């Protein structure tokens, strides 16, 4: 499924700007490009899931919920089957912008729940959602979303991490491993190594927990430097889990 740029621009303008004689800014247009790539992934994940009951999509660390709301209007509502979007965001201004935008959404049959909470709060999450999507989940939020998706037994996770701060747990591991390997202290050399260890740790943690994962570029790096997407499906294949657990133990030293 592909999404036309003009259609995405129109929806973003209607939902989040909604002022006559205005147009999208350059950063909003880049958001359209991101949305085209990510919504194609969401549409494929929805199509893969043969779900008899209500389809539940979680937009985690949602910001104004561009992903959840566009998926509601363009993917879930046109399916004509029961579906619900569950938005989790902790910043009150973005929660309010999301609630405003819902009034302008063209997806009347869909339930949309907006939870103003930290993704670390287990009470913020529905149980066994079909799909968790997190776009640009910054710092530690990506790890919390992985852990919570495992805890609530989500079926599929589409995760696009953002910046890697010092509070990311695998960043400390990466620094330790860099020292053990005798990596130079030059910041640009270390930064790439640390990102690679953080990415590897997240991948192996998902795999060891039974999630078959693929890592792909969902959009060009000129649109966003944070353009890697983890596509993970819960399969629970014991051989694959054991192999990943062994690799994870080796990575952790």
Q: Examine residue 116 and tell whether it contacts ligand SAM (CB under 6 A).
A: no
Q: Examine residue 118 and tell whether it contacts ligand SAM (CB under 6 A).
A: yes
Q: Which helix (H) or strand (E) holds 66?
A: helix 66-71
Out of 90, 177, 234, 240, the residue judged to bind ligand SAM by CB under 6 A: 90
Q: Which stretch binds ligand SAM (CB under 6 A): 44-52, 87-95, 98-106, 197-205?
A: 87-95
Please report the DSSP string for 164-218 in residue order: --TTSHHHHHHHHHHHHHT----HHHHHHHHHHHHHHHHHHHHHHTTEEEEEEE-
Q: Examine residue 141 and tell whether it contacts ligand SAM (CB under 6 A).
A: yes
Q: Which stretch binds ligand SAM (CB under 6 A): 90-98, 186-194, 200-208, 217-225?
A: 90-98
Q: Examine residue 79 and tell whether it contacts ligand SAM (CB under 6 A).
A: no
Q: Which helix (H) or strand (E) holds 229?
A: strand 228-234
Whole-angstrom Cα distance, residue 211 to residue 135?
Answer: 19
Torsion sign over Cα 17, 20, 26, 29: positive
Nearest approach, Cβ of 196 to ligand SAM (angstroms)?
Answer: 21
* Residue placing its CB nearer to ligand SAM in the complex, 18 or 118: 118
Residues that bind ligand SAM (CB under 6 A): 61-63, 66, 88-91, 94, 118-120, 135-136, 138, 141, 144, 162
């Amino acid at each position: 499924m592909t999404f036309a740029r003009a259609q995405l621009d129109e929806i973003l303008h209607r939902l989040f700007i909604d002022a006559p004689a205005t147009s999208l800014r350059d950063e909003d247009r880049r958001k359209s490009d991101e949305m085209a790539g990510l919504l194609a992934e969401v549409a494929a994940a929805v199509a893969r899931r043969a779900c008899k009951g209500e389809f539940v999509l979680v937009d985690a660390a949602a910001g104004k919920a561009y992903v959840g709301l566009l998926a509601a209007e363009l993917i879930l509502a046109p399916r004509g089957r029961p579906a619900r979007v569950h938005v989790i965001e902790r910043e009150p201004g973005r929660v309010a912008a999301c609630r405003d935008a819902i009034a302008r959404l063209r997806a009347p049959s869909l339930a949309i729940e907006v939870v103003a909470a930290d993704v670390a709060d287990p009470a913020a999450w529905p149980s066994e959602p079909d799909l968790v999507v997190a776009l640009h989940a910054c710092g530690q939020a990506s790890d919390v979303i992985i852990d919570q998706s495992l805890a609530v037994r989500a079926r599929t996770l589409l995760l696009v991490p953002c910046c890697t701060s010092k509070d990311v747990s695998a960043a400390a591991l990466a620094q330790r491993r860099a020292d053990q390997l005798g990596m130079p202290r030059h910041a640009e050399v270390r930064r790439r190594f640390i990102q690679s260890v953080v990415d590897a740790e997240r991948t192996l943690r998902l795999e060891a927990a039974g999630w078959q994962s693929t890592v792909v570029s969902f959009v060009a790096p000129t649109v966003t430097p944070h353009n890697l997407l983890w596509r993970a499906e819960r399969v629970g294949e014991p051989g694959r889990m054991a192999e990943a657990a062994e690799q994870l133990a080796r990575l952790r030293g």
